[in-house]
Structure 1
Amino acid sequence: MAVPARLCGDSALSAFELEFSGSIGRRRLPLGDVWSVRFEEAAPVRQFRWAKGGESFPGWYYAVTTADHVGYESWLERDRLVLLDRDPKVVGIASQPFWLHWHDGRESRRHAPDYFVRLADGRARVVDVRSADRLDERTADAFEATREACGAVGWEFEWADAPEPVFMANLRWLARYRRRRSGRPAEVASRLMDVFAEPLPLWTGAERAGDRLQVLPVLFHLLWSGRLNTDLESALLGTDSLVRAGRRSS
């Protein structure tokens, strides 16, 4: 068990502490005092650095959701950012927004969750990313402690495993066209919505809408945004993929 039972419930509000960078500098306060902080705007509590020969692959991803760059430390974390960026329910994302401190009954522990997410309805979600085959006991304990801390203040907690590979490969491609400029000119987008009012193969519909060199970036942007739909889970996106207008269901 990650955390002794005495830390669960209301006692967790003081037993857990958060360390973060605020407007007046670095602070460390009980969880119950800071649960309302807008952590989706927080700076990372540690730097993203390349290490020669290291296993991590840090970088910065430009999220259209926030119109800003969000850090990641692995390809798996980058993939999760792509998924979050495309989720219409997500309105804010911050990477490694705080250190969570607690005592597990044997020693003092700390953990920096990968992402803090703000949802459109105001709810908060903390996300940790780790493939199941790399989830050791110590990391699992940290995730469980984070889950208990989140539960004490009404935040959601999500452990994100590796995504389904075909779906993720398709989203990586569409993410190239995530910026709003890819959806212009507006008249091309309008033509595409009319052309795909009924299902058509991607290549056929693109040809009907105009010059493919101009049309395809707009088409891919509309697929990214969900205004156009196709099956992204069963097969890689291709010229024969059936596309139709309409918001995706999730």
Structure 2
Amino acid sequence: MRNDPQICATLALATLISPLFPEPARICLAVPMILFVPGFVATKIAFPGLPLDLERFALAVAASLAITVLAGFGLDKIAMLKPAGWSIMMGSITLLLLPFAGWSDQTNERLPRFTKRDKRSLIGASALAISALLLSGYGYVRHREFRFSELWMVPAGGSLYAVGFSNKQLRPSTYDFDVLSKQGTIASWSGIVLADGETWQRVIELPIKANFPKEQRFIARLRDRSDPGIEGQKVWASIPPAKSTEQQLQITAEVHQPTQEGVR
């Protein structure tokens, strides 16, 4: 095709600025740039003849994968093994190869034809590669480094506190949740079913005593019924003791008491 150089150059330039694009656009650019375009340009350097037949397509895919592996080694050496690094590397390699590619069919040179056995092997290898790609994509989407339940207890104004939790277990879970003090249970919920990623939250009023001389501690306790062997999670709010009038007067006197040098 006469437009092959323009298409390859456009894809390479778009790849260079792809970190600015949304993720779906980056994925659409990454697939041809990893699996085909650099290798296709490389085959045009080694074998300038046309057309794009099955043999050239297979060679282009193999060359692209080889270029991708070598690019990965280079990115790892310079600590750029990240999406922006891949975009710059693959786009730059393609642009550097383009001036040396032969796009006209002057020699009418063709690659050796595949035999029936070669074609069957190519189909089987392609099926394995596509299956591996789909499995790795599914694993990437489902992968999570840690599985946990997140629990919190934060002030919401005055004696009001927001208590809640979220399920990050990659599975539905059933929870029991209590808010406790030294005097007993303040609030309790049982059998709360949350799907993965769902959140449960309530705002409750804690019985905080004003000017109480001792620390007041209120505990939120979460238990996951799916893991009965685990004790559960706890967070708490601690209200410091109120200072007595004598302590406040003593502190004030210590702060404002002049020194002997100051009297002189």
Q: TM-score range by the shorter chain?
A: under 0.3
- Return the TM-score normalized by structure 1: 0.25
- Return the TM-score normalized by structure 2: 0.24
Q: Would you tell me which structure has more helix in proportion to its own residues? A: 2
Q: Which has the higher contact order (CA 8 A, sep 6+)?
A: 1
